[in-house]
Structure 1
Amino acid sequence: MTDSAALTAIRDFSSAVAERLQALQQLAEEGGFDAAVDLVERAIRSGGVAYAFGTGHSEAFAMEIAGRAGGLIPTKKISLRDLSLTGGMPVSELKGGKLERDPGIAEKLFALAEVGPHDVVLIASNSGVNGSIVGFALAAKANGNPVVAVTSAEHTMRVEPKHPSGKRLRDVADVVIDNLAPYGDAAITIGADVPAGAVSSITAAYIAQVITVSVAERFVRSGDAAPLYLSANIPGGDEHNDALEARYGIDRTA
């Protein structure tokens, strides 16, 4: 049986997560996600795509948005790896955290993504200050694309921007959703002073799924088929997904 100290840590972390998810649920019920849902729905109905971008652990947010079972089909994930996969950058330059802080790669990454005029860009960054993140948001805005930011309001205002513009992601975005992660991301303390239990990936995943189900519900409510993936691991999943990918011009093999 788990000892009492470990039980305390588990319960403290579970409470920290539950409190934040409950707060996000209340925010969603009060319409706090509606502006983001509006932008995604509008993009899809206009023939556009929802692009999702995040670096480091925030890449998990993009993976929640794009290309997964139960997720929206007109979506694409952007990754720093694209700079090597399609942009010719040596793989060695992807190592470590230096690249995500580099504002100089943002415009090249944006060009590789081929973001269209009707597309919306969703960006997750707990700190909201790294150069590639802010630079990509600025590139999207310069291209006329709306930007939805998922970031920690508490953390971002306690750290200095790393982009030459002096801006944070929240300063650039059209819509900002607070992921409710604390400064430093760790939500509990073990012992006297050991921070642990990061929550930003959990809350960002919840935000991504709330946006997804809300967009899907709007399609169903209006009498349209919700453009959602079925699991490829169930009978008929591939056929369903292939047909809708063709309809929306999505090529997951590219």
Structure 2
Amino acid sequence: MTVIEQYLQKSRAILDVIEQQTEQLQQAAQWFAETIRAGRMVHVFGSGHSRIMVEEMWPRYGSFPGFNPIVELSLTFHNLVVGANGQRQAMFLENVPGLAERILRNYDLSDLDSALVISSSGCNVVPIEMAELFQQRRVKVVALITRNHAEQSTSKRADGKKLSDFADLVLDTGAPVGDAMITVPGLDTPVAPGSTVGGAVIVNCIKAEVARLLTQMGQPPVVLSAGAVVGAGRAVDLFERAYDEHAHRLAKLYAQVGQASYVSQGQKEE
């Protein structure tokens, strides 16, 4: 069997692991649909390469407003690799206690909100603290981890707690320990990770179920769609409507955040 065939075979096995979590996926989608129907946001966060799943959720074709992609460039900007804004700094920062609190200081959270926190290892400090802070604010947390890898990894947090310790629901990407899935003859380190495959499938399963639920509730989502599918005119209309709805939802997260001002109190400046 070639290494390409091996990777495809292992990817199919990941799909089997995800299929076994159908009930959990439906539960996550139910929480998210309730949040979106209430006019609030599902907060989606991941550091490192978990950012891929954040942006897979929204915004892109086949996606719809209701998700707040929390992407900190200091934790996810990887293309420079070394030098200023390099990977070493990002990996350092994702284990700095207190950073999650500073990030969430920007938002006025509600117990109507929900959250998806993504971390393959479930052991880095910032995602763990993010989930902990969400729970403290009565926001339901869905954690997306690689269960086998997380169980065999050591938390970077002083008390040893992991992301799964602060989750109302845990989903598994189905990837192996260490993530990389292929052993090449003559090479002593495996290559080709699988968590992104599993993570992207899980995110889109949830997205599809949320869309079904919202439509069933009488609130069909405004979906970003290609002109080749819906026609050029309607595609532009859907984009404008979806982005405007996102802005309106986001405004609620800022309107009453932090210390009160004459603006938040609805007063005019003299």
Would you call these one fold, judging by a TM-score over 0.5? Answer: yes
Q: Deviations over 1:51-93 (max 9, x none)?
A: 111111111110111211111311111122279xxxxxxx859
1:194 positional shift: 3.2
2:220 to 214, 220, 225: 225
Q: Pick the aligned partner of 2:171 from 171, 174, 177.
A: 177
Max Rg structure: 2
Matches within 5 A, 1:17-166: 17-28=11-22, 31-81=23-73, 92=85, 95-166=89-160
RMSD (Å), alpha carbons: 2.6
Q: Please, which moves more after superposition, 160-169 or 144-153? A: 160-169
Question: Percent identity of the aligned residues?
Answer: 25
Cα shift at 1:237: 2.3
Alpha-carbon distance between aligned partners in 2 of 1:228 and 1:208, rounded to the nearest angstrom: 16
Using a 3 Å threshold, how does the CA distance of structure 1 residues 223 and 125 change in structure 2: closer, same or farther?
Answer: same
Measured in 2, the distance between the counterparts of 1:73 and 1:40 equals 12
Contact 1:66/1:72 (<8 A) preserved:
yes
Equivalent residue for 1:238? 236
Which position in structure 2 is the counterpart of 1:213? Answer: 208
Give unmatched runs, 5+ long, in structure 2: 76-83, 255-270
Structure 1's 229 and 126: CA in aligned 2 closer, same or farther, altered over 3 A?
A: same
Distance 1:165 1:79 in 2: 26
Distance 1:231 1:142, change over 3 A: farther
> SS at 1:220's partner residue?
helix
Partner SS state of residue 101, structure 1: coil
Aligned counterparts of 1:247 and 1:161: Cα–Cα separation in 2: 38
Deviations 1:114-152 (A, max 9, x none): 434421110110000101010111111111111110001
Give 1:113 deviation, angstroms.
Answer: 4.3
Structure 1 residue 165 displacement after superposition: 3.7
Map of 1:88 onto structure 2:
none
The amino acid across from 2:129 in the alignment is G
Change (3 A) 1:139 1:123: same
Aligned residues: 239
Amino acid at match of 2:39: G
CA distance in 1, matches of 2:226, 2:156: 39
Q: Is the 8 A contact 1:68 1:231 kept in 2?
A: no
Cα distance in 2 between the residues matched to 1:197 and 1:179: 15
Contact 2:37 2:214 in 1 (8 A): no
| Partner Cα distance (1:18, 1:219) in 2 | 30
**Contact 1:78/1:113 (8 A) holds in 2:** no
Structure 1: give runs of 5+ residues left out of the alignment: 1-6, 84-90
* 1:168-207 correspondence runs (5 A): 168-191=162-185, 193-207=188-202
Shift of 1:229: 2.2
Residue type at the aligned position of 2:113: D
TM-score by length of 2: 0.80
